[in-house]
Structure 1
């Protein structure tokens, strides 16, 4: 099988790239950076995906069993990819987001048929618009699409909304016994998925004839409260977290993007029914518990000093919110 990844070296996608290489898939990575590290066994194609002339030249003479765009966010990205790959692939895979699902939920268990509507987060609305564009291309042009919706997938990021992701700030605050912010009362339910588990389900869809025209979320079956998530992060430090519980709408009043990320995603309990992906990919069986996976992630951060990014502005932001919230 021959597959092209647009991207392929990021937090979610790198595990899929590595597994593809292990499975003997001919994997091509289209990336912008000449100095970007590409795993051994992958073929590197260097171009900006928006430079259509350069991309056409690079893929001339190639036909792919699947093309995966890990970095498309706008409907215009979809139109561009249709122009580039309509005759170049048997399957076009769009990486969407589980944050597209209905907010607030009308039913507590999310399936692939849960409506897509998110009035709170522009990021999710753009992903929905991309999905609408693809559905139209599939129905009217026969473009062979598959839509995949990850939900807070991690490997080389710390999956908490304030002080985490590519920052080490949250870990540093816990170690220094400084208060950290937990949205709401910490009791809402959430699903976090390790990228290595995601990769198994994801690659099982590549070249899958019956996956064309379908959408899938690929998530862990482990359901945790946000209290348990923060406790698992703290356990990697050996220090108990000092938590300050603050309502999500109050937090969102300090930052528009944080408001969208919370009210449009992380403040809402998420329970995913993974029946569909398991029916299409029987080998998908997520096994990495968060308390184990986050230990690997923190070890990765601590393996190189330049990864342990502690931002003064994030610390100041958290301190300012805590002071304001505690003010009489």
Structure 2
């Protein structure tokens, strides 16, 4: 099959491109050409800027593909332009969305039919923490409007694995790898859940190969924090209650992935992947995700909000 990926050079997109290549398909990517590109030579590089509307997509004119995978659609203007231009040029449109579209993030578990946030207006172009979810809601609606039954909407949870420059999941594997007494959030009974980028990528290939339509949550095994740190090999976790963390100014930047079980967003660590599992999603073992991420991240030069010095200062201050 001939596949078009909008985006494709970074983290999630890179894994998707590589999964299609492994499966024997031909891949073209459309990017602005501004990010580092370590993809294999056989990938066709097309250049364009979706923010310029149809004019920015001129590299796609006169071409046909079996499917388009949209990894880089964040605003309605971007997605409207690509969806409509490709309407008669691809048989299927796969949109990579997010679990941040859900209106009731404290619900346990979060399922595909749960209420969504109010959609953003189509002229909103600024992506912030507040607009990200509503913008994706609108983008999903545009894809469904244009493609009907010939589209799939994939809603991944926090994505983990090699090439993850967001530094959220890598913080924990790198911190555990450093050893010593380790600040651990909560009491070990809260939960953490991510999706391995390679599992998402392989499922995306399956969706295209089998022309699967519909909406799918993509989430991995759900672990307690105690189980998670055991998987990471953290030998000396020091559990600090949520209230203590707050008192020392520690939030999601310093302790990424941590959401207290009964917080307003606690349901985002209880996302049901059952529909995707029934359609063929296969989970990588959490220990493999951790080991492979650590093998990459230890030489990736990532920086973290919680420095070793600050962590030690807090541990020393707490009885």
Q: Please state which band the TM-score falls in when normalised by the shorter chain.
A: 0.7 to 0.9
Deviations 1:87-126 (A, max 9, x none): 32221211111232342445x3333222224999543232
Structure 1 residue runs of 4+, over 6 Å off?
251-261
Match of 2:282 in 1: 285
1:129 pairs, out of 119, 135, 138, with 138
The structural deviation recorded for 1:47 is 2.9
2:290 pairs, out of 288, 294, 298, with 294
Q: Confirm or deny: 8 A CA contact 1:95 1:148 kept in the other structure.
A: yes
RMSD: 3.9
Query: 2: CA distance between counterparts of 1:50 and 1:37?
Result: 24
SS of the residue 2:307 aligns to: helix
Deviations 1:161-185 (A, max 9, x none): 9xx4386587258726365352x44
SS of the residue 1:146 aligns to: strand
Query: 1: CA distance between counterparts of 2:138 and 2:313?
Result: 34
Question: Structure 1 210/171 Cα, relative in aligned 2: closer, same or farther at 3 Å?
Answer: closer
Q: Confirm or deny: 8 A CA contact 1:131 1:147 kept in the other structure.
A: yes
Deviations 1:194-222 (A, max 9, x none): 122222221111154451xx2112333x2
- 2:146 is the counterpart of 1:150: no
Question: Structure 1 188/173 Cα, relative in aligned 2: closer, same or farther at 3 Å?
Answer: closer
Question: Structure 1 252/215 Cα, relative in aligned 2: closer, same or farther at 3 Å?
Answer: farther
The structural deviation recorded for 1:292 is 2.2
- 2:228 is the counterpart of 1:226: no
The structural deviation recorded for 1:37 is 1.8
Q: Confirm or deny: 8 A CA contact 2:152 2:212 kept in the other structure.
A: no
SS of the residue 2:152 aligns to: strand
1:196 pairs, out of 195, 198, 203, with 198
Q: Confirm or deny: 8 A CA contact 2:106 2:266 kept in the other structure.
A: no
Query: 1: CA distance between counterparts of 2:252 and 2:277?
Result: 36
Q: Confirm or deny: 8 A CA contact 2:50 2:78 kept in the other structure.
A: no
Query: 1: CA distance between counterparts of 2:17 and 2:7?
Result: 10
The structural deviation recorded for 1:280 is 3.6
What 5-or-longer segments of structure 1 have no aligned partner?
Answer: none
Deviations 1:266-322 (A, max 9, x none): 675404142x334444xx322x211222111111122x3xx13234x5429965994
SS of the residue 1:91 aligns to: strand
The structural deviation recorded for 1:255 is 6.6
Q: Confirm or deny: 8 A CA contact 2:92 2:151 kept in the other structure.
A: yes
Match of 1:240 in 2: 236
TM-score by length of 1: 0.75
Q: Confirm or deny: 8 A CA contact 1:5 1:29 kept in the other structure.
A: yes
The structural deviation recorded for 1:43 is 1.3
The structural deviation recorded for 1:8 is 1.6
Question: Structure 1 171/31 Cα, relative in aligned 2: closer, same or farther at 3 Å?
Answer: same
SS of the residue 1:87 aligns to: coil
Question: Structure 1 137/244 Cα, relative in aligned 2: closer, same or farther at 3 Å?
Answer: same
SS of the residue 1:285 aligns to: coil
SS of the residue 1:111 aligns to: coil
Query: 2: CA distance between counterparts of 1:317 and 1:285?
Result: 39
SS of the residue 1:242 aligns to: strand
Tell me how many residue pairs correspond in the alignment: 304
Match of 1:175 in 2: 178
Match of 1:30 in 2: 30
Match of 2:102 in 1: 101
Most deviating of 92-101 and 43-52: 43-52
Within a 5 Å distance, the mapping from 1:68-87 to structure 2 comes to 68-87=69-88
2:307 pairs, out of 309, 315, 321, with 315
Q: Confirm or deny: 8 A CA contact 1:72 1:78 kept in the other structure.
A: yes
Query: 2: CA distance between counterparts of 1:270 and 1:259?
Result: 18
Question: Structure 1 251/272 Cα, relative in aligned 2: closer, same or farther at 3 Å?
Answer: farther
